Amino acid sequence: MTATAAAGVPLLGQLTSGASPAAAAARAPQLVWNPSPSGVGLKAFEGIEADRGNQHPDRDYVVIEDGDHYRFNIWKDDRDTTGDGDRQRTESKGMMQGGTKLKMKDGETWTLSYEMYMPSSLHGTSKFTHIFQTKTPVDNGGPYLTLDLGRSGSKETLRARAYANSGSPDIASTDLSPLRNKWITIEWNLTVGSSGKATFTARNGTGSGAPVAVQGSMSNVKMPDQGDYQRPKWGIYRSVESASSDILDTYLLFRNYKAYRGT
């Protein structure tokens, strides 16, 4: 797992100073989700949101490659059924374990980690491009947290954002270009609630020894369960009102999803 102790979040499984091994184990976050693409396939998720208008029934939007990762495809002429034709979406929603939804509730602490591969054809954009977001199913509220690919002039960025807070501030931001065309590691440490907390870490590579590309933490993050639950979503959800040169046929790869729930 990523080394977030410097940001005030203990490493998973790390013993609390002075605590007995048994007591520390009782308090350690528990691994509750680690789906095998070849084993459970798309049943790892509550569902897939892609081509909801059934415009391209011949296209495969989310597929399993090489038995070990998920590929999320999107085409420049895709359009979602929301937004009056100004956006497109290929996303998974939620986490399923043994046919049961895993729900992130107010007051709970969660760690979500995964490995991700972004090709050169997946660009930062001047309008929104979310490659991760959390929402509440009960009212489709949010997004609350997002991981965005942004653009300002020629500069492209990877931005973890407290999207529902005033001004949608960055929790952490870094240059996108060094993170492309390789597997990188993403980790979110979350405390759910109307005044929650989020720590974000991106590693430029995989494994605990991979260098940290960016890390940041923020308190008073708005991510309430709305009496329901916070639900993570992965994939590509973007506006097509950015420059046409940035809206290309592309894809995004994910593997080694893990979710830990605090106790």
| Residue pair 236/89 in contact by the 8 Å Cβ criterion | yes
Q: Mean pLDDT throughout 77-99? A: 96
- The answer to whether the bond into 143 is cis (omega within 30° of 0) is yes
Residue 192 has pLDDT above 90, yes or no: yes
What pLDDT is attached to residue 24?
52
Indicate the CATH number for domain 38-261.
Answer: 2.60.120.200
pTM: 0.90
Residue 21 has pLDDT above 70, yes or no: no
C-alpha pair distances (Å), 28 with each of 31, 55, 108, 124, 247: 9, 47, 13, 37, 43
Quick one: what percent of the chain has pLDDT higher than 70? 90
- Assign 26 a pLDDT band (cuts: 50, 70, 90): low
- Tell me what the pLDDT averaged over the chain comes to: 92
First to last CA, the chain: 18
For residue 216, the surrounding DSSP H or E stretch is: strand 212-223
What pLDDT is attached to residue 27?
72
- Assign 61 a pLDDT band (cuts: 50, 70, 90): very high
Q: Mean pLDDT throughout 56-77? A: 98
Q: Mean pLDDT throughout 135-143? A: 97
